[in-house]
Amino acid sequence: MRCILILFSVILSSVMAEISLPSMFSDGMIIQADSSVPVWGQAPAYEKVEIKGSWMGMAAMTRADSEGKWKTDIKTPEASRDSLELTITTGAGEYKAIKNVLAGEVWLCCGDENMQMPVSMAMNAEAEIENADRPEIRFFTPPESISVSPKEEISGKWKAANRMNTGSFSAAAYYFADQLYDQLRIPVGIISATCASSTAEAWISKDTITSSRKMLEIVRKYPKLEEYGKKKAEFSKKFKKWLETEEGQRPSEPSYIDYTGLPSATYNSMLSPLAPYRIKGAFFFQADANLARAYQYRFVLGLLIEDWRESWDVPQLPVYVVQPQIDGYSAENLKFVPEFWESQIDVTNKYQNTAPIVSYDVDKDNRQELGRRFSVNTLAYNYDLPDTPHKGPTFVRKRIEGSELRIFFDNVGRGLTTQTFGAVEGFEIAGIDRVYYPANAIIERNTILLSSSEVDQPVAARYGWSLTSENLPNLENRYDYPAQPFRTSRWKYITRE
């Protein structure tokens, strides 16, 4: 009997001493290079924990708290394609090794179905997947989910870019990683957190949303998220009972699909467990569920940037905002898009280390070009290559010249042109009656001269606002980057209540 008790005690202590790590800390992981990186996990209460990378001269030491939680920072090496190892050891001798670790650049790519669209559904999918052989590009893709409260763990594992895996990767994120790798020749890790039909507010913590007076309308939606939580709890009880008895029909789990747009729903389940895993920066590609609330979006998007910077404890975390493409939207939704773009531009002008990724001219399935635009922005802003062409013409000012209106631009590159080298399209002008008419647009050096037989005395102009097939915007610079949509006077918002 005594032998049995001793054996039981040994088994119990072994179980209790087991080290538990978040799923991101697993074989094949990419850690942010040349940085101070948080590492955290679970161990027996008050147990000493030693963390050592194969590149480290001395191990980092910490101790688990009363709940067994521990966290510390370690210094990572410069980016390299050399395989590394990270080990975690407790004072009791429990040991865990993470193998095939690479030090490189880690980016978060987050959003709705726009970011989620896989390589298998994008342009030239078959050939791209067949040729995918980039073991230094790795994705961590947690499953789409929502939660009523913040989670501490999420499932997932690192997968290398190869024929077996690449088809399921986010296409925009993959082609970004591919371009970045080509330019830098260092490992690239992508954390791809996406959920179809999610709103922007779904990716923000509850603390941040409830602290803003401008979010009162959104705050009122939390009870519906709690309703989902109650349904999940009821299902768990019924399912547990069914497992015990196997009597009757197996209970059906409540669908989360109708709740993906609720505030904090995807943050709780998909971002809360990830933060503060060190990242270089983030891309946010989300639009559809917020289009009709385009004016409000400027406040929501600003909160999202602030929230992520706090969650990752990086005050100036780079956050790139991807503008939705024209291709694929109905006429009903297309009318909201210009005000949505405007909100995105306003936010990126307000916050440092942010920028819009202008993409209205890119076909929906052309994720290769979209990924390239991701990469040139990061090369210019984050990798000390400021001369990398990455931006199209941006409005600076207007000047009234009798019956004509002249528009001045910045970022004209080697000069203004159009995508087809034909007539400039997409401009409208208005007089004091505030009625817009399509404008004749002439390129004169680095300016556009606008006129219309319907407007004798123009006072305002706009570009890329009436998105009809007869007047689609086509202005760009000679680096092939499109002009940002704009308007010189904000007389009216169709999405502002």
pLDDT tens by residue, 368-399: 999 999 999 999 999 999 889 999 999 999 99
Q: What is the pLDDT of residue 242?
A: 85
CB 455 within 8 A of CB 416: no
> Token digits for 167?
């088809």
Backbone torsions φ then ψ of 184, nearest 5 degrees: -100, -20
Instruction: Output 420 or 438, whichever has higher pLDDT.
Output: 438
Q: What is the pLDDT of residue 14?
A: 41
Give every CB contact of residue 336 below 8 A, 6+ residues apart in sequence. 291, 292, 294, 494, 495
Rounded CA gap, 175 and 3, in Å?
Answer: 60
Q: List the single range of 2-11, 302-311, 449-458 with lowest mean pLDDT.
A: 2-11
Q: What is the pLDDT of residue 195?
A: 97
Give every CB contact of residue 481 below 8 A, 6+ residues apart in sequence. 358, 389, 390, 391, 392, 393, 411, 413
Q: What is the pLDDT of residue 243?
A: 86
Q: What is the pLDDT of residue 240?
A: 87
Q: What is the DSSP letter of 285?
A: E
Rounded CA gap, 99 and 23, in Å?
Answer: 14
* 409-426 tens-digit pLDDT: 999 999 999 988 889 999
Q: What is the pLDDT of residue 454?
A: 97
Can you tell me the mean pLDDT for 207-232?
A: 94
> Token digits for 171?
């296409």
What Rg, from alpha-carbon coordinates, does the chain have? 26
Can you tell me the mean pLDDT for 215-244?
A: 91
Q: What is the DSSP letter of 452?
A: B
Can you tell me the mean pLDDT for 180-207?
A: 98
Query: Quick one: pLDDT band at residue 5, thresholds 50, 70, 90?
Result: very low
Backbone torsions φ then ψ of 488, nearest 5 degrees: -85, -20
Is the pTM of the predicted complex or chain greater than 0.85? yes
Rounded CA gap, 327 and 392, in Å?
Answer: 19
Q: What is the pLDDT of residue 331?
A: 87
Average pLDDT score, the chain: 94
In percent, how much of the chain has pLDDT > 90? 86
* 461-475 tens-digit pLDDT: 999 999 977 778 999
* 264 φψ region: left (φ > 0), alpha (ψ -120 to 50), beta (else): left
| pLDDT at 307 exceeding the cut of 90 | yes
Query: Quick one: pLDDT band at residue 89, thresholds 50, 70, 90?
Result: very high
> Token digits for 289?
């569920």
Can you tell me the mean pLDDT for 142-150?
A: 96
Q: What is the pLDDT of residue 172?
A: 98
Q: What is the pLDDT of residue 419?
A: 86
Rounded CA gap, 443 and 237, in Å?
Answer: 69
Q: List the single range of 138-152, 264-278, 458-472 with lowest mean pLDDT.
A: 458-472
Query: Quick one: pLDDT band at residue 251, thresholds 50, 70, 90?
Result: confident
Can you tell me the mean pLDDT for 211-232?
A: 94
Q: What is the pLDDT of residue 15?
A: 43
| pLDDT at 249 exceeding the cut of 90 | no
* 42-71 tens-digit pLDDT: 999 999 999 999 999 999 999 999 999 999
Q: What is the pLDDT of residue 4?
A: 43
Q: What is the pLDDT of residue 248?
A: 80
